[in-house]
Chain A
Amino acid sequence: MRIIRYIVKKEFKQIFRNKGMLPIIFILPVLQLVILSNAATYEIKNIMVGYVDADNSSSSRGLVERFDASTYFYVTNKFASEKEASEAMQGGSIDAYINIPTNFERDLQKDKINEVGVFIDAIDGSAAGVINVYISQIIKSYNKNIRLDLIQVSDGVQKTNNIDSIPLFWYNNTLNYKTFMVPGILVLLVTMITLFLSGMNIVREKEIGTLEQINVTPIKKHHFIIGKLFPFWVLGMGLLTIGLILAKVIFNTPMIGNLGLLYAYTSVYILVILGMGLFISNFTETQQQAMFIAWFFIVIFILMSGLFTPIESMPKWAQILTEFNPIKYFVEIIRMVMLKGSGFTDIFPLAIKTLAYAIVMNGLAVWSYKKTT
């Protein structure tokens, strides 16, 4: 115990004396949380839309006005021909354009049906999908109104039969993307900092040669490892606390569930990350190598965590791979606990997997850590 305590003390001293590392540990996560949470958004706003109005009727102008009135669209200009509009989209100055054909109003009144051409820049497929939905919604609502107008004009006894769906958004009823993102980004910063620091830590001792000296001492493997990793466990928990405070103060993120449960889960989760860091340490010779490998895993873990893209829409094999992604579990659980208020039994299946992961990872790491070369 005395030995572990002394190593822990020594590690903390070294962490706090490292003037280059300290800001990275405490300031970067804060910046990350504030910047990413505000910037990483699924909402598509400020869509630049142009139009070609070959009809120039009150109906066609009415449709364009609808777009102008929407907060999502910014109607840039009216093009004289479809060719011009197409060139503008090619040049990138507009994201979409609408082509209103000649005799739009006349045909609408005569045939009760008409077509409007919608062209969307689909370089970013998911954005194009969202734009399409927005445009369709506007045209649909316009459709409804014009129908009413037409019914009045004609001697209509026609009744419209419609099924309307009224969505209720649970757990995040204003569809605030920040509510969704902040807990996820909190996971990111806890994971990144603890993985990088623990991964580099033991390698650092290798690099400066102290590990050789320590390996000749009678120190027990587990004493050394616990002593070295415990400070990063504390650091990870500290980062979670800082993150939660920021989430509350800056973003007013709801925290419905039991925070104690979240801490309990995090304490197990960080063990997985520390085991991973130690494992990387064992197979690298320099901090640079360790950093590269840690980055490689972090990037894959982040992109396959369900943080930015839903896991359900990944191909089957990728979904299986995500089972090995610790970040996935944490992202899911932190959202469940904070936003849904899930309790112990709800998160139990995921938590038990994390625990198993922690045991396997640390087992591997301790096994591969050798005092001889």
Chain B
Amino acid sequence: MSISISNISKSYGEVTALSNISFDVKPGELFGLIGPDGAGKTTLFRILTTLLIADEGQAMVADYDVLNDYRSIRKSVGYMPGRFSLYQDLTVEENLNFFATIFGTTIEENYDLIKDIYVQIEPFKNRRAGKLSGGMKQKLALSCALIHKPKVLFLDEPTTGVDPVSRKEFWEMLKRLQKTGITILVSTPYMDEAALCDRIALIQDGKILEIDKPEAIVKHFPKSLYNISADDMYNLFVSLTNYEHTYSVFPFGEFVHYTDKRDLIDTAIVATYLEEQGLTDVQIAKTQPTIEDTFMELAK
């Protein structure tokens, strides 16, 4: 196993950040940690990267124990913290050189690994890191995290605050990196990114809700899900919330995602109810649950 976590708990005073977390990440896997802000993702990353010591439980990274072999771990992992943490007043090249040096290597030695990413920012190599755009900063940070050819790569919310195009590019880079055999643990609050991982763990309030392949995780959704739309979205939402048979209702883009307490329902009954509430143009259609729906359901 590249990462194996068993019964990890951590609290900050009264607040429990992680409670009894266990899961494994296979070598070469792209594993996603999906959860909202404050779910405990960063705490888990900090424990795995030896920055923080867990209250209970064991964890192994690249076959090293996080407590006893933290020195070996620091040599063999790459970590990209949530916020941009390179030297803004050093140039792109200087930053990369700096991290290469403190890992006891050089840019040339591992150029192959970062080439793909670095060529995109190389034209700006004499620009200060602080003057780069958000997407380029991410690429530089990733290059710096990769420069020593780590076995395991930790990416803590790498795409938060990055534009959609750069986000897409970033994930493509991760996919390519994965092919070189690096194990990647990535956290994100974006459910759409979850679908790009090999496996995901849904995490909330320091607890793992579910671990599975993204396409399998939606099977954990227990009910039939309906897309409902009408002329007045607000009224539609309020009406459904007050409906006695409603199991769950969430706004979802141009629709409202709705589940019913009854197992097999006739959608016409719901439509009639909504029309009674003064709504027109009511449309109800069955739909496939997404990871987000599953998450909302499991987090209930």
Contact = CB atoms under 8 A, between A and B. Distances in A.
Contacts of B87: 10, 14, 208, 210
Contacts of A7: 102
A18 B50 CA distance: 32
Contacts, number: 68
A372 B88 contact: no
B179 interface: no
Nearest to B130: A208
On chain A, which size bracket covers the interface? 20 to 34
Interface stretch (A109-117, A215-223, A269-277, A336-344): A215-223
A316 interface: no
A213 B77 contact: no
A173 interface: no
Nearest to B81: A212
Contacts of B85: 208-210, 212-213
Given A14-B89, A208-B88, A217 B51 contact: no
B167 interface: no
B102 A216 contact: no
B66 to A, nearest CB: 10
Of residues B46, B86, B101, which shows the largest number of chain A Cβ atoms within 10 Å of its Cβ? Answer: B101
B89 to A, nearest CB: 5
Interface in B5-55: 46, 49-53
B74 interface: yes
Interface residues of B, number: 30
Interface string B79-95: 10101111111100010
Contacts of A83: none
Interface SS of chain A:
helix
A144 interface: no
Nearest to A6: B101
B217 to A, nearest CB: 30
Nearest to A10: B98
Contacts of B75: 218
Interface of B: 46, 49-53, 70-71, 74-75, 77, 79, 81, 83-90, 94, 97-99, 101-104, 144
Given A13-B89, A213-B81, A218-B71, 6 more contacts: A6-B101, A209-B85, A210-B87, A212-B81, A217-B103, A219-B102
Interface of A: 2-3, 6-7, 10, 13-14, 17-18, 208-210, 212-219, 371-373
24 contacts: A3-B104, A6-B98, A6-B101, A6-B102, A10-B87, A10-B90, A10-B98, A13-B90, A13-B94, A14-B90, A18-B89, A208-B88, A209-B81, A212-B51, A212-B81, A212-B85, A213-B85, A213-B144, A215-B51, A216-B49, A218-B71, A371-B51, A372-B50, A373-B52
